[in-house]
Structure 1
Amino acid sequence: MAGPPRLTEGAAPGGRATILDVAAAAGVSRQTVTRAVNGLSGISAATKERVLAAAERLDYRPSRFGRGLVTGGDHQLGLVVNDLRNPYTPQLASAVFRLAAEQGWNVMLADVDLASDADRMVQALGAQTDVVIGYLGTRRERWNALLGTVPMVELDPHTEPSTAAVRLDPADAVEALADHLVAAGVRHPVVLDHSEAGRPSVRGALVTDALRRRGYLPELVHAAQATAECGAAEATRALARFRRLDAFVAFNDVTALGVLQACRRAGVDVPGAVRVVGVDGLSLGELVAPTLTTLAVDLDEVARVAVDLALGMLAGELPRSGPEVQRTVRHRLLLRESA
């Protein structure tokens, strides 16, 4: 990718509206536009209203560089994540930080699960950044509205996205895993999912369906949280309840680590008696014994694709929604000792 786009006072990348365009449309000076969009005194309410209407009509966003906010001119990328206590999150964040640094960007991080007021945090992030990447989940529409004209790249949307997006697709890897379990002689698998009881997650449904199409009747177990603690607790109950089970497919790697712990405490040999599989491909899966088989996604690639989309939209080279800004990163089956 080329270096970050640079803004000047009279021009914006990709033909986006500038402060001079707004001034001309509203019939005022550049200084008046600055006062109106920044809420400064010295202009009438009617003038402010006219300027803001022109700015909205032109889809104008005030330049942080002209206001000298944050770092005096460096580009700012906002990253919205769910929970820094989950090892997946810092591994993804480090990939984004590393790539952004190569482009001369700074990154502002918002952990919305740990925030006291997530809406306020997202709104503040939009005010201080040029583009936002992250997980929106069910709060997508509300947060999109809070971000206003700030370009957004959603990660792993579960429904059709209204912005640019990077989908994470485990479907091919799930099929490869199902074939591997058949070849390995597994007969009684348990899918340890994280979802509402009776309603599998997207990946839980993919795994269950793939196993059923191969003649299995997998047991579906629901964990209240996708944590090692919940994984261990549910695996302990499953080992006691399903005497013939010989494989766990866990919602993610962290849950799978809890399964490994439960098997070790119960004296169950992995992979001799029970095979264990996670999802995500976290590096910590190589640090446990046995090493963790997983459906791995390349988080460096996820970061690379997301930042590429962000730069393209900011430069005006890409639209902010639609098929042109939809990308997919696929998982792969990574066989290690646990399966």
Structure 2
Amino acid sequence: MAGKRVTIRDVAISAGVSYQTVSRALNDKPEIDATTKERVLDAARELGFRPSRFARALVRQDTTSVGLVIPDLLNPFFTEVASAALEAARKRGWHVVVYDTAGDGEQELGTLEVIGSQVDAIVGYLNAPADVVARYTGGIPVVYIGRESAGASFGSIRVDGEAGIHAAVAHLVAGGRCRIGMLDHEHAAPSARSRWYLDALRSHGLSGWVLGAGQSVEGGEIGVAALLDAHPDLDGLLTYNDVIAIGAVRRARMLGRRVPQDCAVIGFDGVQIGSLVEPPLSTVRIDTRQLGALAVEQVATLLAGATPEVTTITGTLVLRGTA
């Protein structure tokens, strides 16, 4: 393979094993039989494999390494999830490397290709089809966050905010709000959250408006300005996440709307910064500490050779100053 650096992926293909098995063989870990180990070492010698300094650091003997893949480190929700996962992994003595895909599909596949041969397991927000993820990760354990699992080597943690969004709409309606809009994810519209919102409105005999917004404070500002321009009597607003909600509150007040008197706002995620803005943000809270801890727990189950049950984290309505 002149001109191209030989990778763990090449050794795994040559030996007919997973990347994880190659890692364990090269580091003389005990969870591999002698025949398989010898086959891997023979393939490595034949190909002239030399592990990179980075790969050697990640696959040190007796150290379990986990790749954590998230779409946006600037979004405090994902930062909180990463922090919780790091804390849970640290308690087990594991090594965690965090990757930010910027919500881009090609970047996600590139990330999986890089880390699939360098870690023992992967946790993250992955959008690629399960067969594609399996092809890029070579059979190592994968824990999905926010989607269903697919196969024995996959774990899954679902985030269910339906009850929380129904509770949010019910609270707004009980307060006399009847012209309620939503700022959705601009790239995922219609999202499950907007479907829950519309279902909740219908249960109260109401209809509403959904507008895609950028996943940022600026996206919330632009989105609420557009909604208020189209519907000046808007008196309630739900948002895809708290970051959008913070921007929406800011711009609504700049446009002369009192929050919550003229227009109540409820976000989604429950990030800590929401309690620090003025007025404090009402939200559908997801327990990020539980989410991160469960992800690491599922990795441990998969590494032990078992298949974890799908776990669901349910969102709950937290009322503060904006609704």
Pairwise TM-score range, normalised by the shorter structure? 0.7 to 0.9
Give how far 1:209 is off. Answer: 0.9
Aligned counterpart, 2:43 = 36
Deviation by residue 1:170-221 (Cα, 9 ceiling, x = unmatched): 0111222122112111111011112469x52111111111111111111222
Query: TM-score if structure 2 supplies the norm length?
Result: 0.82
Relative to structure 1, the CA distance from residue 110 to residue 68 in structure 2 (aligned partners, 3 Å threshold; closer, same or farther) is: closer
Give how far 1:160 is off. Answer: 6.2
Within the candidate set 77, 80, 85, 1:88 is matched to: 77
CA contact 1:297–1:331 (8 Å) conserved in 2? yes
User: 2: distance between equivalents of 1:161 and 1:155?
Assistant: 12
Within the candidate set 230, 252, 256, 1:263 is matched to: 252
Aligned counterpart, 2:132 = 142
Secondary structure of the residue that 2:258 maps to in structure 1?
coil
Q: Which consecutive residues of structure 2, in runs of 5 or more, have no partner in the other structure?
A: 1-23, 50-54
CA contact 1:176–1:333 (8 Å) conserved in 2? yes
Aligned ranges 1:300-315 → 2 under 5 Å: 300-315=289-304
Aligned counterpart, 2:229 = 240
Query: TM-score if structure 1 supplies the norm length?
Result: 0.79
User: 2: distance between equivalents of 1:246 and 1:170?
Assistant: 22
User: 2: distance between equivalents of 1:194 and 1:205?
Assistant: 12
Deviation by residue 1:80-101 (Cα, 9 ceiling, x = unmatched): 1111122222111111111111
CA RMSD of aligned residues (A): 2.5
Relative to structure 1, the CA distance from residue 107 to residue 242 in structure 2 (aligned partners, 3 Å threshold; closer, same or farther) is: same
Instruction: State percent identity of aligned pairs.
Output: 29
Aligned counterpart, 1:20 = 34
CA contact 1:100–1:106 (8 Å) conserved in 2? yes
Relative to structure 1, the CA distance from residue 337 to residue 20 in structure 2 (aligned partners, 3 Å threshold; closer, same or farther) is: same
Is 1:167 matched up with 2:158? yes
Amino acid at match of 2:58: V
Tell me the matched-pair count: 290
Relative to structure 1, the CA distance from residue 232 to residue 38 in structure 2 (aligned partners, 3 Å threshold; closer, same or farther) is: farther
Secondary structure of the residue that 1:185 maps to in structure 2?
coil
Amino acid at match of 2:166: E
Deviation by residue 1:267-316 (Cα, 9 ceiling, x = unmatched): 21001111001000000101110100000000111111111111011012
Secondary structure of the residue that 1:127 maps to in structure 2?
coil
Secondary structure of the residue that 2:117 maps to in structure 1?
helix
Within the candidate set 312, 316, 321, 1:332 is matched to: 316
Aligned counterpart, 1:179 = 170
Relative to structure 1, the CA distance from residue 220 to residue 93 in structure 2 (aligned partners, 3 Å threshold; closer, same or farther) is: same
Name the larger-Rg structure.
1
CA contact 1:178–1:210 (8 Å) conserved in 2? yes
Amino acid at match of 1:20: A
Aligned counterpart, 1:282 = 271
Secondary structure of the residue that 1:97 maps to in structure 2?
helix
